[in-house]
Each structure stands twice: as structure tokens, then as C-alpha cells.
Amino acid sequence: MNSNTRSKLIVIAASLLLTASACKEDNAFFNPDLLPAGEVCFEGRETLQEVTTFQDPAQLDVLIVVSTAPGTEAIQQRLAAAVPRFISLMRARELDFQLGVITGDAGDPASIGALKAGGQGISGCEMSPRIVTDEHGERAGTFAACNVLQGSEGADAQELIEATSAAFGPRNLEPLTAGGNAGFLRARASLLVVYVTDRDDCSNDNLDLSSIDGETTQTRCEHALDRLADPDDLAQELIALKSDPGAVAVAVIGGSDDGRDIDLDDELAPTCADAAGRPVFPATRLIRLADLFRPRAAFESACSASYGLSVSHISLLSEPDDVVVCPDARLTEPPLAVTLDGEDLDNGQGGYVFLGSTDACPNGAVSIDAGKLAGAQGALQIRYCGR
């Protein structure tokens, strides 16, 4: 081989190396690591994602938001009579539950959204804790009944949505000993929020209701709808608390929505009368909030003579449900493997199911059987081909 031929071969080889290098840089999916034998990641790079904040179907946090407006004594008493049944149903399901109570009264900014304990001046309620748990055993029902009896000396305009937002805001980081709610909201627990009221939410930013037309506070709140807090905003706040978009449920015991808009000259009419004969007004905004969480939502009438059946229906929202995990990268096909506590889960019912892209998980939702996750201690690992 003469020197001219050798020089030409060197130039060609160098050119090929440069071309190969450029291809690697331009190819976003280039992966020099080979996949295990028999497995092919057709598009994208193989990823092993470890999930440590998934929901435990055996854990449930329940927040009851009760109205303390004038005239709500009978509603609170019926709720107190029914709450022990609610507790017994959760205990029968062997749920690791926590139950807290707040009021819809926003009159004192220093206490709005703070968990309450003990009925006002009620004998036997002095020892009830601010957070009732399954560890309280037979006393849990009594403690919860005490905590929902918060009196009826609150504001006429109840700000139940604002109180809920405050409960899970900065107050959630403050210790219980300082009036905060720290320890109530657990990372792996599902969340159930229950509203019990004889009127609709009137959350507002220091709105002067006296300047609005209407003989009753309920009417003035109805006429000021465009200046009240948006239930959709609270829904987004609640969803953001959990890694699983299906881990939040909302129930309302209140007045049914009559579906009618009132004119500025009209007065808001009650939808029914409670067992004590007092008017119950439509809880339209709270029902709208609950509707955003369907099918994990419930509505029960506050005009029922007893709330026993109502809490039974609401307790169905505490039944363990499959947990949905949203991968970090976009999945174009089912996961290669899903592992929990070192054990491979089967692909199908009883293990995991790939749901594809959903509104809540646009990257592709992976549904994990609730029975597998209950009480799990370790991490959940998903191995997939992601873009």
C-alpha cells in the first residue's frame, strides 16, 4: 500500500468517527447501556423510579368542618349522636384513622382553621384530644362526639372554605401545643373532608356584607357570589396535598342546591327545615366543591331527623381504593416491572394496571391494587421506558 492510499484511508476513518459522534449528540434517546437480555426499550431511555410518598389505603385523615352560626345547635347535636357510628365503621375496616374538627367561623384570624377539642362547657368532654385516633379505642367515638359540639355563637356568615384552606396552610406546620395542626395531615394517608352546615359557604376577603342588599346574611352572600372565594381554588389546594389525585374525598351534610339563581330584589329561600324547625339554606358552593372530587364525593341532607344513615353513606368514601401513581416521564407502553418491598407485582388485577394518559396523570397513570399497598413499609419501584 503506497503512502497516498494510506493517507486517504486515515481521512475516511476520521470522518466516520466524527459522524458517529455527531449522531450520538443529536440523538436524544441514545443510551450506551444495553438493556437486560430479552427486554427492549423501543423508544426513550429505561428509567427506574422510586416512589416513597404513595398513599397507604389503610390510613385515613378525616377533617370535619362544622358551622357554628346562630341556630346550629340541633345540627351539631345530631352530628354528635351519629359520629360514634362513623368511628365504629372505620374501626371495623381496621383503618388507621385520625379525626379532627374545625369550625367555619373566621371571626378570629388567630384561630381560624385550628383543630378544636371538647364541647363548650359539656361535662365529660374535658379530656377529649384535638386529634382523635384509632388508638383511643372505645373512647374514640365519645371524643369525636364531644369535639363536634362547638356551640352556635359564631359569625352569621360562615367561611368554611377559608377555614379549610387555613387548616392545611401554615397552621399545619405549627405544633399542637402552640395552637397549630402539626401531625394531623399524614403524607401517606388519604384525606376526607366533611362539611356540616345549615347554610352555604361565604368565604370572602374582608367583604363588608352590610353594604350588600338583602335582609339576611345568606341572601347578601348569595348576591356577592362574584366576590367570594372560588371553590375550585380550594380543590386544587387539597389535590396538591397528595401524590395520588384520587386520595382526597369531600362530603357535605347541608341544604340541597335548588338550582335557581336569585335576582337582586329576591331573598334566598331555605331548601328545607331541620328537625328543630330551623331553616336550612342551599349549600350550593360546597356541593360544587364536592362535585369536583366525584366519584369520591357525597351529599346528605341536613334536614334529616337523624344523621346515622348519612354518616354510613359518607363512611363508604373511607373504603380502601386502588392507588394511582404518576410517573415522572411519559410512558408510551406499560411498565417493564413494578416492585413493592422487593416483591414483583403482577401485571393485571391484584397487582398493577397501566391506565395510559389521564387528565390527572398525562404521563401515563399506573394503578396499584389497594390490598398490596395497605401497610407497606418500603418503597414502590417502577421500571419503565420513558421519554
Query: Options 3.40.30.10, 3.40.50.410, 3.40.50.300, 3.90.1200.10; which CATH number does 59-318 get?
Result: 3.40.50.410
Which parts of the chain have pLDDT scores under 70? 1-44, 119-121, 258-264, 387
- Alpha carbon separation from 316 to 210, 227, 259, 295 (Å, rounded): 41, 35, 27, 11
Return the domain boundaries, the chain.
32-54+322-386, 59-318
Burial letters 356-369, b for 16+ CB under 10 A, else e: eeeeebebbbbbbb
Integer Cα distance of 354 and 312 in angstroms: 32
Residues 198-227 pLDDT 10s = 999 999 988 888 888 888 899 999 998 989
Look at residue 68 in the predicted model and tell me its pLDDT: 95
Q: Is 268 exposed, middle or buried (0-12, 13-18, 19+ CB in 10 A)?
A: buried
Q: How many beta carbons lie within 10 A of that of residue 287, not counting itself?
A: 20
190 - beta bridge partners?
60
Look at residue 175 in the predicted model and tell me its pLDDT: 92
Pair 134, 95: CB distance under 8 Å: yes
Find the length of the chain: 387
Q: How many beta carbons lie within 10 A of that of residue 93, not counting itself?
A: 15
Integer Cα distance of 218 and 201 in angstroms: 9
Q: Is 258 exposed, middle or buried (0-12, 13-18, 19+ CB in 10 A)?
A: middle
Report the predicted TM-score, pTM, of the whole model to 2 decimal places: 0.80
Integer Cα distance of 148 and 118 in angstroms: 8
3-state secondary structure the chain: CCHHHHHHHHHHHHHHHHHHHHHHHHCCCCCCCCCCCCCCCCCCEEEEEEECCCCCCCEEEEEEEECCCCCCHHHHHHHHHHHHHHHHHHHHCCCEEEEEEEECCCCCCCCCCCCCCCCCCCCCCCCCCCCEEHHHCCHHHHHHHHHCCCCCCCCCCCCHHHHHHHHCCHHHHCCHHHCCCCCCCCCCCEEEEEEECCCCCCCECCCCHHHCCCCCHHHHHHHCHHHECCHHHHHHHHHHCCCCCCCEEEEEEEECCCCCCCCCCCCCCCCEECCCCCEECECHHHHHHHHCCCCCEEEEECCCCCCHHHHHHHHHHHCCCCEEECCCCCECCCCCEEEECCEECCECCCCEEEEECCCCCCCCEEEECHHHHCCCCCCEEEEEEEC
Furthest CA-CA distance within the chain: 112
Look at residue 332 in the predicted model and tell me its pLDDT: 73
Integer Cα distance of 369 and 67 in angstroms: 37
Integer Cα distance of 113 and 96 in angstroms: 23
Look at residue 18 in the predicted model and tell me its pLDDT: 38
Pair 281, 198: CB distance under 8 Å: yes
- Alpha carbon separation from 384 to 40, 247, 380 (Å, rounded): 11, 24, 13
